[in-house]
Structure 1
Amino acid sequence: MTERTTRLRRMAVTGAAAVGAVASLVGAAPAQAAANATTVYVWATDVNMRSCNLFSCPTYGSVKVSRMNVTAFCQQRGDVVRDGAYVNDWWLLVDAGGPKGWISAVYVRGGSNWGGIPGVSTDFAHCR
């Protein structure tokens, strides 16, 4: 074998190994969210996350969501939230990189007053 052929084979093996490693990392990566999850954008700053969709449920202390994409699993009606001209009784169960929590639809882009967020499930089974 010539030196060039040997070098080409080493490059091919190295390239195949790199592709295999990347494929295995992608395949081994945990699923970011269930099939029913939807990415939504929280347009406001310092939005409290709660343990349920009611004001009587505690907030997650210092956990705040601000101007970022979050994964929404479902939405349900809860307490009415008013913020300026915005008003809504829909809440979304979201994951913002920590524990799942509930935020008001008032602070999510794409909704309307008194309406849910398009594309987010209303199936209670998805809220677990």
Structure 2
Amino acid sequence: MNARATVRTLTTALLVAAATVAGPAATTATGATAGDRTQAGAMEFTEVHVWATGVNVRNHPSGTPAFDQCYTFPSRSNCRVVASVSRATVTAYCQKQGELITDSGYRSRWWTYLESPSGQWGWVNNVYITGDEHLAHVSDCEN
């Protein structure tokens, strides 16, 4: 098993664990709630390009109240910096709305959950990702 497959396996296991703790309405490893699974299908990993340098990747350890708060509303105040990314193509899982960020003439409330080059997973505001405010090729996260 290669490193990317191992990371995906571990990420799926963490998402399943988080959904189990959060209850039946939570997101499953496929990215859909139990009721939506047949309608929405599985979310897939996709690649996005972070165009800026020194972009903070934000998250908290899973299973903590801070993780739940960060997941519910990604923001600078709810999520601590766990890594950074500079001008790189990275793996993304899903996106959701959070704090409005304005930088370099762009603004967005959308945040994408992605894997940093160092292997840390976390949120990056879409202002720093090539594309529109809401990325058409990245699935929306389930609440």
Bucket of the pairwise TM-score, normalised by the shorter protein: 0.5 to 0.7
Corresponding residue SS for 2:56: strand
1:84 to partner: Cα distance: 2.6
Structure 1 vs Structure 2: percent identity of aligned residues? 37
Aligned to 1:92: 112
For residues 47-83 of structure 1, give each alpha carbon's deviation from its aligned partner in whole angstroms, at most 9, with x where no partner exists.
Answer: 00111311112112xx210000010100000000000
In structure 2, distance between residues paired with 1:70 and 1:123: 17
For residues 63-111 of structure 1, give each alpha carbon's deviation from its aligned partner in whole angstroms, at most 9, with x where no partner exists.
Answer: 2100000101000000000003100000000002321010000000012
Structure 1 gap segments, 5+ residues each? 1-27
What amino acid is the match of 1:119?
Answer: H
What amino acid is the match of 1:109?
Answer: T
Indicate the structure (1 or 2) with the bigger Cα radius of gyration. Answer: 1
The equivalent position to 2:45 in structure 1, one of 18, 33, 37, is 37
Q: Cα RMSD over matched residues?
A: 1.9
- Does 1:121 pair with 2:139? yes
Structure 1-normalised TM-score? Answer: 0.65
For residues 2-52 of structure 1, give each alpha carbon's deviation from its aligned partner in whole angstroms, at most 9, with x where no partner exists.
Answer: xxxxxxxxxxxxxxxxxxxxxxxxxx3352647611100000000001113
When the two structures are aligned, how many residues end up with a matched partner? Answer: 93
In structure 2, distance between residues paired with 1:122 and 1:87: 18
What amino acid is the match of 1:79?
Answer: E
Corresponding residue SS for 2:102: strand
